[in-house]
Amino acid sequence: MKTGSILVVDDNKNVLSALRFLLENYFHQVTLLSSPNQLTSILKEISVDVVLLDMNFTAGINSGNEGLYWLSVIKKFDSDLPVVLFTAYADIDLAVNSLKQGASDFVIKPWDNAKLVATLQSAYSLGQSRKEVKKLREKQAVINQSFNRDEAFCWGKSEVMSKLRSLLDKVAKTDANILITGENGTGKEVIAREIHRLSMRYEEVLVSVDMGAISDTLFESELFGHVKGAFTDARTDRAGKFEAADGGTLFLDEIGNLSYSLQAKLLNVIQSMKVVRVGDNKPIPLNIRLICATNRNIEKSVQNGEFREDLLYRINTIHLEVPALRERKEDIPELAKFFLLKYSEKYNKNDLILSKNAIQQLKEYDWPGNIRELQHAIEKAVILSDGTELQAGDFYLSRQEKINSKLTNMSLIDAEKILIENSISKNNGNMSVVASELGITRPTLYSKIKKYKL
């Protein structure tokens, strides 16, 4: 079976012709070169898996030093490229020296066809193993920065989340590209991780990329990778996020922030499922599941000429809209208890519970920052808590905004009740402070508390 590409470098045209006839039966591509002076340019132009290199090119010189020199040139270009040296002058010291300098093997002319083919195929296999190890190392380096985070997930029991969960369960086990939309803080990345967890790729990595945090100048290097020397700071080969996610899931968060000029490059990779590293010309096949997310109205961005319509079609096979927290307030008590448990354990306050007035206040608030704001509010309350029960006053929300919205179209009696209730909660039941804040005496305060059954 034919495998790989071989480059043969020899100044004897008869040798080149004979080797072409032989090696075309075993390699997909056989490239012949009669002068080593073109070696570097050829290696840049074509993909080569193994090199068969003559050791002497100048008439009357049989030292093998020319071969050793060109061996060093090849190794400087690609240290992992296997090179088999070829000479008519057998010399044990020369053979040992060539192996020390990185040659994979040493073949003597005239050659035995079967032995030569076996040697070259062995060198090819060695090269493929090196490439695989290198690729895994590069991939691991990226994965170490973007490792899977196994986070617990709380769906809630609202109808809108039940519908979302039902749709997610249907599409998770497919490889369909998914676009997740929703306001900031609604949990789009958590949804993406839940899709990955339920998919057929759950044993592979999920690589998350914040597209809004990548500058235009670093976009290609970060996503597609680069080879050594591609630019000033490219000191080593580096796999990009696409390669790192190979076999698993790639999550492109805030894709709506990607500039129009870079959208075409992203589209090309998604369409072809091949990536070319910066500074290289070899396409690398990909096998990924793509999930994207944005807080923007992406269809409006298309209408405004800010987002490519063809890219939207590629990433939007399935569309999941994550609702804002104000649209699913019945889930707030369950979410609050979920985060309370998480942060109680984290900060060693395991006896904490939420009071009824705290839960009521959380339900009444509009949560412009959505679940993320709720999570931070719970964490802050846990950190600052002194007792075993969190009260409404332990939560530092946009209180005036909440009160103003609630007082709108409300009777004077109901408004007074709300004001007293919030002041008591805010001041942790210190009636002297409450009375002073409301501008009434303590007896009047107690009378109103009795009247409103607070």
**Position 183 confidence tier, pLDDT thresholds 50, 70, 90:** very high
Query: Could you state, in order of their start, the residue ranges of all structural domains in the chain?
Result: 5-133, 159-323, 326-452
Each residue's pLDDT tens digit, 35-77:
999 898 899 888 899 999 998 887 666 677 888 899 999 998 8
Mean pLDDT of the chain: 86
User: What is the spatial distance between Cα 398 and Cα 312, in angstroms, rounded to a whole number?
Assistant: 37
Strand order in the sheet with 206-210: 206-210, 249-253, 289-294, 178-181, 318-321
Q: What would the mean pLDDT of 146-163 be, rounded to a whole number? A: 75
Domain 159-323: CATH superfamily, name plus number: P-loop containing nucleotide triphosphate hydrolases (3.40.50.300)
Reported confidence tier of residue 398, pLDDT bands at 50, 70, 90: low
72 or 153, which is more confident?
Answer: 72
Report how far Cα 175 is from the mean position of its chain's Cα atoms. Answer: 17
What's the pTM?
A: 0.61
As given in the structure block, the two tokens for residue 45 are: 């132009």
Q: State yes or no: pLDDT of 145 exceeds 60.
A: no
**Cα–Cα distance for residue pair 449/372, rounded to 1 Å:** 35
pLDDT band at 130; cut points 50, 70, 90: confident
Share of the chain above pLDDT 90, in %: 52
pLDDT at 282 over 70: yes
* Fold exhibited by the domain 326-452: Helicase, Ruva Protein; domain 3 (1.10.8)
Distance from C-alpha of 204 to C-alpha of 274, rounded to nearest angstrom: 19
User: Is residue 303 pLDDT above 50, yes or no?
Assistant: yes
CA distances 191 to 168, 186, 398, 409, Å, are 9, 9, 27, 38
pLDDT tens column, 371-389 = 999 999 999 999 988 888 9
For residue 148, what pLDDT is reported? 45
CATH 3.20.20.70 fits domain 5-133:
no
Tens of pLDDT, residues 283-293:
999 999 999 99
Same fold flag, 5-133 and 159-323:
yes
User: Which candidate, 60, 61, 7, 62, places its Cα nearest to that of 32?
Assistant: 7
Residue 193 has pLDDT above 50, yes or no: yes
Asked if pLDDT for residue 344 goes beyond 80, the answer is: yes
| Residue 408 confidence (pLDDT) | 53
pLDDT score of 400: 43
Helix axes 412-426, 356-364, angle to 10 degrees: 120
* pLDDT tens per residue, range 317-341: 999 999 999 999 999 999 999 999 9
Cα–Cα distance between 249 and 176 in angstroms, integer? 11
DSSP state of 328: -
- In tens, the pLDDT along 79-122 reads 889 999 987 766 667 777 788 888 888 888 889 999 999 999 99
SS3 assignment, position 306: coil
The answer on pLDDT for 182 being more than 90 is yes
Identify the residue with better confidence: 444 or 277: 277
> What b-and-e string marks burial along 213-249, b requiring 16 or more CB atoms within 10 Å of the CB?
ebeeeebbbbbbbbbeebeeebeebbbbbbbbbbebb
